[in-house]
Amino acid sequence: MIYKNGDVYVGQWFEGKRNGYGVLTKRIGDHFEGSWVSDKREGQGSYFYAESNKLFVGEYVDDMPKCGIYSEVVDESVSETEKVENDLQMPDFDDIPPLPKLQLKNPVMVLEGALKNVRSDRMFYRAKFMTLHVLYQPQELNDLIVEFQEVAGELGEIELEHVPEILEKLGIECDLDSLFEFYLKLICDSEEEMKEIRDNVEVSLKVDFELFARIVAIVLEINNRLEE
């Protein structure tokens, strides 16, 4: 898509909105590449700010950078002579006492903790709305398809109670009660809808492949957190 203002987007779409992986290059030189949900940046992404020559790499939430690493990009086109000239133009601060270096005691741990918190807070939202090609690597998705089709056959869907046996073949542990709660959060838009299904003991809990893959994404995220 080439926009009227000169911006260019190259990537995946769904129902007329940027959805999946995509690259946005703005006319002013800014550049973003990463995942999108319903026309908003969501999940992992990187943004280059042309004017300040800075780069942000991290997690986006609802189109805003949430946490990550913000750094300056080294401009290789600037010659050593220009660097020296720039240094000579700087004022002399020799008469001012040096300030102590300010830094976090454990920046890596702080960043990892912030990333985990963001992913935890957005886990169900991302599992529900992100494209499967963003949630999984191609081989992972293919493995899920093979195991699902083996149980579903030509019907193309299974009962929720059959999901644990597929997960067991994949070496993934999760009890049926937890899967039921994940199922509700993925298919329902309100607490009222969830309560209605809980109260209806005769309702058939059908799962197609896309819903199955989204449930598995939640299970994997929770299991990874427990292992950590």
Domains of the chain from N-terminus onward:
8-121 (2.20.110), 136-227 (1.10.238)
pLDDT tens by residue, 100-146: 777 888 888 999 999 999 999 999 999 999 999 999 999 999 999 99
Half-sphere exposure at residue 59, Cβ-oriented, CA atoms within 13 angstroms: 17
Question: What are the DSSP calls for 21-52, one per residue?
Answer: EEEEE-TTS-EEEEEEETTEEEEEEEEEETTT
Residues 81 and 72: beta-carbon distance below 8 Å: no
Backbone angles phi, psi at 144, to 5 degrees: -65, -40
The pLDDT score that the predictor gives to residue 37 is: 97
At residue 139, what are phi and psi to the nearest 5 degrees? -65, -40
Q: Tell me, what's the pLDDT at 103?
A: 80
The model's pLDDT over 18-52, given as tens digits with 9 standing for 90+, comes to 999 999 999 999 999 999 999 999 999 999 999 99
Please give the order of strands across the beta sheet that includes 8-14: 8-14, 17-25, 31-37, 40-49, 54-61, 64-72
pLDDT value of position 203: 80
Distance from C-alpha of 26 to C-alpha of 8, rounded to nearest angstrom: 6
Mean pLDDT of the chain: 89
Assigned token pair, 38: 């319903």
pLDDT above 70 for 196:
yes
**What gap in Å lies between CA 50 and CA 65, rounded to an integer?**
17
Rounded to an integer, what distance in angstroms lies between the CA atom of residue 216 and that of residue 60?
Answer: 22
Q: How far is CA 116 from CA 40, 50, 93, 104, in A?
A: 21, 29, 42, 18
> How confident is the model at residue 93, as a pLDDT?
56
Whether the predicted pLDDT of 89 surpasses 60? no
Query: Residue 14 above 70 pLDDT?
Result: yes
